[in-house]
Amino acid sequence: MKPPIVFDLDGTLIDSLPNVTQAMNALLAEEGLPPVTEDLVVNFVGRGEKIGLQRLIDATDLDPHDFDRLMAAFIPHYEQAALQTRLYPGAREAVDRLLADGFKLALCTNKPRAPLIPTLEAATLDDVFEVVMAGDDLDLRKPDPAPVFEIMKRVGAETCVYVGDSEVDAETAQRAGAPFVFYTEGIRAVPVHDIPHDVAFNDFGMLPAICARLAGV
């Protein structure tokens, strides 16, 4: 059996930084505060909406005592921004090729399920994954490997190939004992050379051959 290919979502298959920034700025506007830039928001993403919002609070004049109220206000903006999701160039073709080559595909994201559903629909990815693990499906999130282990359990696999774009994904793959395929054009807060990986790529046309090689097929 071929190992499943487990994808991260934000910054790996989709360019979501503009959407997250838009949602955060909509929240800030409601609170009467100035907007933030993508260069700042890149430091907020990757570990789920709770940590993302906490980092936004820490970087602005949002009141930390209002966390629960702010989260309730943020999620609808997050869902709305998701409707504008766009795939990275070549991502859909790579996904289709992997499916045609007989690989099972899975998704492991820290994005909560509420905004994840419209995101996958907007990106036309809602019908390609055998298993989808959202950030709020388990008590533990990436970089804890629990969601990856759950994916492997559900597809009956002992290992996988993990495709991601950030230091969070690199740690997740390492802790899951999976080879890490690193998309270097995604969303990350540290330099490429500081992120450990087995194979790096910057063009999705390269991905099917990389996965086949790592899978030993």
Q: Has 39 been annotated as catalytic?
A: no
Which of the following is catalytic: 8, 10, 15, 165? 8
Q: Whose CA is closest to 185, among 5, 17, 25, 6?
A: 17
Query: H or E stretch including 34?
Result: none
CB distance 46 to 10 below 8 Å: yes
* Number of H-type helices and E-type strands within the chain: 9, 6
Q: Which residues are CB-neighbours of 105 under 8 A, at least 6 positions away?
A: 4, 5, 6, 7, 95, 98, 99, 128, 129, 130
Residues shown for the chain: 217
Positive or negative CA dihedral for 168, 174, 175, 177?
Answer: positive
Residues that are catalytic? 8
